[in-house]
Chain A
Amino acid sequence: IVMTQSPDSLAVSLGERAAINCKSSQSLLYNPNNKNYLAWYQHKSGQPPKLLIYWASTRESGVPDRFSGSGSGTDFTLTISSLQAEDVAVYYCQQYYDGSTFGQGTKVEIK
């Protein structure tokens, strides 16, 4: 399954909204349990990736509520409702429906 993120980079003013899109080459929705097998990670330089969202919209414990995930099937979005300085990072989506593949990453910067 190929994961494609857009845009490749994004510059947003502090306090403004940032949205990252992720498209999969096939549906990630497993109908028997109605779950989308999609996760989002934040990766800061010199640190390991950090899980933000799983099952497309479930926020990991401790993740600020300004981070939210939405979408179903093949189209997903990670939204940061009010960008903070500490949110500067590369963000990846990951499908775990069949094996595991990641998007190419989206770099988020401050405008």
Chain B
Amino acid sequence: QVQLQESGPRLVKPSQTLSLTCTVSGGSIKSGYFWNWVRQHPGKGLEWIGNIHPSGDTYYNPSLMSRVSMSLDTSKSQVSLKMDSVTAADTADYYCARGGESKSYYIFFDLWGRGTRVTVSS
């Protein structure tokens, strides 16, 4: 079955760039689904960051799009997230999630990685 695994630095300094990778196993990253990033601030609710399709199409949360970029490496079955100019407010659990229907950029999320906690601190 398809599994998602997030990885990347757990600690990032303020003003630097947060970089995370989601590795997709057990299935093809080119299957037509959108691959999403979602975060959860400590003790808070869920926030959609954005997504990317194997075609290269991307959709970002308007509140974050000035600082966010996503890319996809099909040879490694990986989806990457970069977030610039981070502050303490970007401290959160970051999840990778698959869009539940192929070709649909605004959709529910049927598969999730276990998430990774990123702390922004000097």
Contact = CB atoms under 8 A, between A and B. Distances in A.
| Candidate in A39, A43, A96, A100 with the most chain B CB atoms within 10 angstroms | A100
Interface residues of B, number: 21
Interface string B93-108: 0010100100000111
Majority secondary structure, A binding face: loop
A48 B106 contact: no
A49 B46 contact: yes
A105 B100 contact: no
Contacts of B62: 99
Interface string B11-37: 000000000000000000000000010
Contact of B112 (A48, A54, A100, A105): A48
Classify chain A: how many residues form its interface, as a range.
20 to 34
Contacts of B110: 51, 54, 60
A47 B95 CA distance: 11
Contacts of A76: none
Interface of B: 36, 38, 45-48, 59, 61-62, 95, 97, 100, 106-110, 112-115
Interface of A: 37, 39, 41, 43, 47-51, 54, 60, 92, 94, 96-105
